[in-house]
Amino acid sequence: MADDDVGARPHLEARPRVTPGLRAVADRAGASRSLTSLALRGDDGVSPARRAEIVRAADALGVAVGALARRRAEGGPLVLGVVVDDDEAPRPDELLAGARSAAEALGFVVRRVGGEPGAGLPSALEAVHRQAGGPGSPLGLLVVGGAPSRRSLASARADHPVVLVGAGGAEHAPPGVDTVRADEEEGMRCLMLHLASVGHVRTCFVGASDDARTARRARAHAATAEWLCSAADVRADAADLPDDPARLARHVGEGVTAFVAADDRIAARLVAAVSALGLPLPGSVAVTGFGDDPVAGGLGLTTVAAPAERLGARAVELLVERLRGRRADHHVVLPAELVRRASTDGGAGA
């Protein structure tokens, strides 16, 4: 199910079906069916004593009890885990702040899990898997940044609900895994239109177009460049272009006036390479990034920013919806923001 986050959000409360098992548990616990359903999905509007009675009745009858309901009945911490690819996550500190704020409002806590920062997503996911089901283990998992394999995500999903946060999106998620990402396609279109408005129409995308994390940006660049000019004017080069002055100069000699980097780190290297060639920036050549990493502000890079805090908050909401019984997959796309800075001011030939 697509969810573009425009208008009303899906309710955090999923409405469970009344099943024969639910009726039996309600009768055994001496509770109404509505209260029993609330208790078995972990709703926070049930008293601890009543919840414990209902969970005991479900256990006695062999009726499945959700992880959230059982954790509440046991009085344990309602932990949502986060594993972060620090190199690829969109402004991780802001994203985690948004996640923690949303979790606190819903009665949960967010903790980084999976070992030491920098261990890498595969190692972090394996560490979380080894701890699954233990005291204080996370009830659900946010996987932030990078592009973990569908197999590793499916394995994590077998332990608890999972939300993939960042560039991956729906095409990288197996069934049962929700996603939330920024609208990178629209962000790239806005960036290209901004470049055209200041005189930079012939552009070159710089980055790995076959990389799952940047392919969407490369496709959006190509589509917009073709619309602005023609298919013959669509240019792309590899991420090592800043290391090859001759290649860089050849692009400029053939009429390229702006380099659109796949991320801000490549853009920073391009700024240095363009300066080394003695080309005025942004008068003769413009450079743009993507991501709004800290380096972008320091260099005055025009870039595209993901709404990091909103990504974190929405991911937590998706995770809690899953814990409360939602079955349908949700793939949320939030607006990205064009951040205009000095690296594109002035226009070509200014």
Same domain, 260 and 190: yes
Give the number of C-alpha atoms closer than 13 A to the C-alpha of residue 104, restricted to the C-beta side. 6
Q: What is the pLDDT of residue 229?
A: 85
The model's confidence at residue 343, banded by pLDDT at 50, 70 and 90, is: very high
Residue 149 lies in a domain: yes
Supply 308's token pair: 């990091």
pLDDT at 14: 44
- Does 278 fall in a domain? yes
pLDDT of 259 reads: 97
Does 110 score more than 90 pLDDT? yes
pLDDT of residue 208: 81
Judgement on whether residues 153 and 135 belong to the same structural domain of the protein: yes
Give the dihedral sign, CA 113/177/106/309. positive
* CATH code (residue 278): 3.40.50.2300
Q: Are residues 312 and 164 in the same domain?
A: yes
* pLDDT band for position 209 (cuts 50, 70, 90): low
Asked if the structure places residue 13 within a domain, the reply is no
Residue that terminates a domain, selected from 10, 41, 74 = 74
Are 85 and 76 within 8 A, CB to CB?
Answer: no
Same-domain check for residues 153 and 126: yes
Does residue 1 belong to any structural domain of this protein?
Answer: no
Average pLDDT over residues 128-150: 82
What beta strand segments (E) does the chain contain? 2-3, 79-84, 109-112, 140-144, 162-165, 178-182, 203-206, 235-237, 258-261, 286-288, 303-305, 331-334, 337-339
The SS3 of residue 317 is helix
The reply to whether 15 falls in a domain is: no
Top pLDDT among 103 and 29 is at: 103
Among 55, 74, 93, identify where a domain stops. Answer: 74
Preceding peptide of 282 cis, ω within 30°: yes
- Both 314 and 176 in one domain: the answer is yes
Is 250 in contact with 157 (CB distance < 8 Å)? no
The region of weakest confidence among 9-23, 170-184, 241-255, 290-304 is: 9-23
Q: Any idea what the CATH number is for the domain that residue 65 is in?
A: 1.10.260
Q: What is the pLDDT of residue 346?
A: 52
In a domain, 321, yes or no: yes
Within 10 angstroms of residue 276's Cβ, the number of other Cβ atoms is 11
Cβ pair 218, 207 in contact under 8 A: yes
pLDDT reported for residue 117: 66
What's the pLDDT at 127? Answer: 77
User: Alpha carbon of 240 to those of 168, 244, 248, 276, 303: distances in Å?
Assistant: 23, 7, 10, 15, 20
pLDDT at 151 over 70: yes
- Same domain assignment for residues 28 and 177: no
Same domain? For 157 and 69 the reply is no
Range of the domain at 313: 77-181+307-334
What is the pLDDT at residue 179?
95
Share of the chain above pLDDT 70, in %: 89
Averaged pLDDT, 135-141: 86
Average pLDDT of every residue of the chain: 86
Does residue 5 form part of some domain? no
For the segment 5-41, what is each residue's pLDDT rounded down to a tens digit?
533 444 444 444 445 688 898 888 888 888 988 888 8
For residues 205 and 207, give the distance between their C-alpha atoms in angstroms, rounded to a whole number: 7
How far from chain centre, in Å, is Cα 327? Answer: 20
Are 227 and 283 members of one domain?
Answer: yes
Higher pLDDT: 2 or 128? It is 128
Work out how many domains the chain is built from and give that number.
3
User: What is the rounded CA–CA span in Å between residue 61 and residue 19?
Assistant: 13
Question: What is the predicted pLDDT for the residue at 64?
Answer: 82
With a pLDDT cut of 90, the percent of the chain lying above it is: 51
- 291 and 251 within one domain: yes
Cα–Cα distance between 115 and 61 in angstroms, integer?
38
Q: Which residues contact 26 (CB under 8 A, 6 or more apart)?
A: 32, 33, 35, 36, 54
The whole-number pLDDT of residue 324 equals 87
- For residue 221, is pLDDT > 50? yes
Task: Clarify whether residues 138 and 175 are in a common domain.
Answer: yes
Q: Are residues 146 and 53 in the same domain?
A: no
Q: Mean pLDDT, to the nearest integer, of 303-329? A: 94
Instruction: Say which range, 26-30, 227-231, 258-262, has the weakest mean pLDDT.
Output: 227-231
Q: Is residue 12, in this structure, part of any structural domain at all?
A: no
Helix axes 150-159, 121-131, angle to 10 degrees: 20
Task: Specify whether 40 is located in the same domain as 50.
Answer: yes
